[in-house]
Amino acid sequence: MKSLLYITANPKSEANSTSLTVGRSLINEYVAIHSNAPVTEIDVYRQHIPLVDEHFLSARQKISSGVEPVVLLPKEKDITDQIHQLTSQFIEADVYVFAFPLWNFGVPPLLKAYVDTIKVARKTFRYTPDGPEGLLENKTAVLIQSSGDVYSYGPLKEFEHGSRYLTSVLSFIGVDRIETIYMEGMDKNKDEAQEKKHQAVTRAVELAWAL
Ligand SMILES: Cc1cc2nc3c(=O)[nH]c(=O)nc-3n(C[C@H](O)[C@H](O)[C@H](O)COP(=O)(O)O)c2cc1C
């Protein structure tokens, strides 16, 4: 039984968000198929995502200096525990579903903050003499991204750093299967946007069966 981590990054309500609506369709279907599968949700806009700060960096410095015993100050220990808890939660899941809008060509900032908690040296990747190596194995990710404009072709093709960025990070840490559901041009034509949303829901439901 595969455990699923549903990561959402959108301050909007589900009813008002295309990416969240499509994401929920996938999750509902997954739960209907695998009623006993553990599904955990992280809403980066409604739960506290710790930021990499001076205390985390000084703790990291102490830990990597190799000097034993490592003695962390309370603030260093606190932020390190918070971040590593999210790292461990991510490592333990088998399937990741990310739902988010494209914001200013990238992912919403709190999703970037979340990525900082999962791309962690010696936990999800490591450096070897032959270069960096992802430490995750047998993982699948689904990226559900909604954007106002179109990026799959045309003048903005090189401007899309949302799903492209997440794909880079996830591949880097070893996620070997990455599926995408794009809803593009959502702010252009209302009727077309509605149709694109329906199509995306259909694909999300199909994908739930293939996870
Ligand atoms: C702060 C902000 C920044 C945005 N930046 C972009 C952008 O760079 N490119 C784009 O195509 N759409 C951009 N949009 C539009 C959203 O990506 C688009 O409306 C999307 O469909 C929203 O998805 P949602 O309904 O899940 O929130 C932006 C919207 C907001 C609120």
Q: Which residues contact 181 (CB under 8 A, 6 or more apart)?
A: 22, 142, 143, 144, 145, 200, 203, 204, 207
Residue 19: CB within 6 Å of ligand 1? Answer: yes
Q: Counting atoms of ligand 1 from 1, which one is nearest the CA of 151?
A: 11
Domain 4-46+79-209 belongs in CATH node 3.40.50.360 = yes
Distance 136 CA to ligand 1 centre (A): 31
Tell me the C-alpha distance between 74 and 11, whole Å. Answer: 32
Question: Which percentage of the chain shows pLDDT scores above 70?
Answer: 100
- Which residue is closest in CA terms to ligand 1's atom 10? 148
Q: Counting atoms of ligand 1 from 1, which one is nearest the CA of 185?
A: 11
Distance 99 CA to ligand 1 centre (A): 13
129-188 pLDDT per residue, tens: 999 999 999 999 999 999 999 999 999 999 999 999 999 999 999 999 999 999 999 999
34-84 pLDDT per residue, tens: 999 999 999 999 999 999 999 999 999 999 888 888 999 999 999 999 999
* 11: preceding bond cis by omega (within 30 degrees): no
Tell me the C-alpha distance between 204 and 52, whole Å. Answer: 33
DSSP of 104-144: TTB--HHHHHHHHHHS-BTTTEEEETTEEEE---S-EEEEE
Q: Residue 12 in contact with residue 45, Cβ under 8 Å? A: no
